[in-house]
């Protein structure tokens, strides 16, 4: 008999990609039956999942009472929260803890939390404003104190999909042949990139053997790429000269002050690295666990063009 896998964020990037992975996988599509959690079961996205024989259940992370029915009978739960929806760490922390509590009460065997590094700890308290990282890390610490047979922590890198993220500016053509990259990174800044469509490939080992990976962090990225490598590859794929903007060129990308702030490289990337001092080693360990091919930056670009306005 198949096991119930409950996926939160099933109409978003992470959860949606995981649903597709499970449905398309020759092994896991037989091992698991899926329940997608959404706040609006009548949405177009939810309807599309229902057409794929995915069970749809309404729940609201801000209402803990709705979470018990959402995870009832589940063998495994994939949990993800969206900090940017309300942009308050306290809200995300409360949501994550409530979700974990409901899963413990339901007797869930495998609890997967979409987490991020604790920037405050990595920087020894020098950076205290990276709330969307630290809030997820705080929930991770809470989960580690709960009595799950297996809890696994998925730490995605920088989404390749961020190049079309609505929170950030879009790549900007400043001439027929020259395009500004949407983030003002220094050329040597190393960024771990993930095509979020690959999410299931990182989680597959834990789905097969939850106890083996109990307590493990899966540092989920294809590789570290320098910002210079990113623009050079994009230039080769697109046939345009993609260049890194300077801080003074950010207003050319957008006049939205929030997007201008997002486009500035976080200090942590250049000084402490995305995953901290052990990031490269941690990534190598994770990649040793994965037995499926991961999408490279070049492959992502080649699969998703044409990229720039007026291009055909």
- Residue range 276-296, pLDDT digits in tens: 999 999 999 999 999 999 999
Phi, psi of 310 (to 5 degrees): 75, 0
Rounded alpha-carbon distances, angstroms, from residue 128 to 118, 261, 270:
10, 17, 16
pLDDT confidence of residue 259: 87
Of the pLDDT bands very low, low, confident and very high (cuts 50, 70, 90), residue 227 is very high
How far the first Cα of the chain sits from its last, in Å, is 49
Tell me what the mean pLDDT of segment 262-281 comes to.
88
Q: What gap in Å lies between CA 293 and CA 82, rounded to an integer?
A: 28
Tell the residue number behind the tokens 């609890």, with chain if given: 111
Class at the top of the CATH hierarchy for domain 3-148: alpha beta
Q: Which of 46, 41, 39, 128 is nearest to 81 (CA)?
A: 39
Q: Is the pLDDT of residue 21 over 60?
A: yes
The domains of the chain are located at 3-148
Of the pLDDT bands very low, low, confident and very high (cuts 50, 70, 90), residue 307 is confident
Q: What gap in Å lies between CA 170 and CA 165, rounded to an integer?
A: 8
> Residues 6 or more apart from 111 whose CB is under 8 A from it?
76, 77, 79, 100, 103, 143, 146, 148, 150, 151, 152
pLDDT confidence of residue 164: 86
What pairs with residue 56 in β-bridges? 36
Quickly list DSSP for 110-130: EEEEE----HHHHTTTS----
pLDDT tens digits for range 245-260: 999 999 999 998 888 8
Of the pLDDT bands very low, low, confident and very high (cuts 50, 70, 90), residue 215 is very high
Average model confidence (pLDDT) for the chain? Answer: 94
pLDDT tens digits for range 108-155: 999 999 999 999 999 999 989 889 999 999 999 999 999 999 999 999
Say what percent of the chain tops pLDDT 90. 83
Tell the residue number behind the tokens 């050329």, with chain if given: 187
Q: What gap in Å lies between CA 297 and CA 260, rounded to an integer?
A: 24
pLDDT confidence of residue 266: 73
Of the pLDDT bands very low, low, confident and very high (cuts 50, 70, 90), residue 310 is low
Of the pLDDT bands very low, low, confident and very high (cuts 50, 70, 90), residue 270 is confident
* Tokens of residue 189, six digits: 């800044």
Three-state DSSP at 183 gives coil
Q: Is the pLDDT of residue 56 over 90?
A: yes
């Amino acid at each position: 008999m198949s096991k119930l896998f409950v996926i939160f964020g099933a109409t978003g990037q992470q959860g949606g990609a995981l649903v597709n992975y499970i449905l398309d996988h020759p092994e896991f599509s037989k091992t698991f039956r899926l329940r997608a959690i959404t706040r609006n079961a009548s949405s177009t996205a939810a309807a599309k999942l229902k057409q794929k024989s995915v069970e749809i259940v309404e729940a609201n992370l801000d209402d803990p009472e709705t979470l018990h029915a959402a995870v009832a009978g589940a063998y495994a739960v994939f949990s993800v929260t969206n900090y940017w929806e309300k942009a308050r760490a306290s809200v995300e922390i409360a949501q994550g803890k409530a979700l974990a509590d409901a899963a413990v009460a339901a007797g869930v065997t495998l609890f997967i939390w979409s987490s991020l590094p604790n920037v405050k700890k990595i920087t020894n308290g020098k950076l205290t404003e990276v709330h969307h990282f630290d809030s997820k890390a705080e929930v991770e610490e809470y989960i580690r104190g709960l009595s799950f047979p297996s809890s696994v922590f998925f730490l995605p890198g920088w989404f390749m999909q961020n190049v079309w993220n609505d929170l950030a500016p879009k790549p900007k053509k400043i001439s027929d042949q020259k395009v500004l990259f949407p983030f003002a990174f220094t050329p040597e800044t190393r960024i771990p990139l993930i095509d979020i469509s690959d999410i299931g490939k990182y989680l597959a080992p834990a789905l097969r053997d939850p106890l083996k990976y109990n307590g493990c962090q899966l540092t989920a990225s294809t590789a570290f790429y320098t910002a210079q490598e990113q623009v050079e590859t994009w230039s080769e794929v697109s046939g345009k000269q993609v260049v890194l903007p300077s801080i003074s060129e950010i207003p050319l990308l957008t006049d939205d002050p929030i997007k201008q702030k997002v486009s500035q490289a976080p200090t942590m990337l250049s000084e402490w690295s995305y995953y901290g001092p052990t990031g490269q080693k941690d990534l190598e360990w994770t990649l040793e666990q994965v037995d499926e091919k991961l999408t490279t930056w070049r492959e992502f670009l080649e699969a998703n063009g044409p990229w720039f306005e007026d291009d055909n």
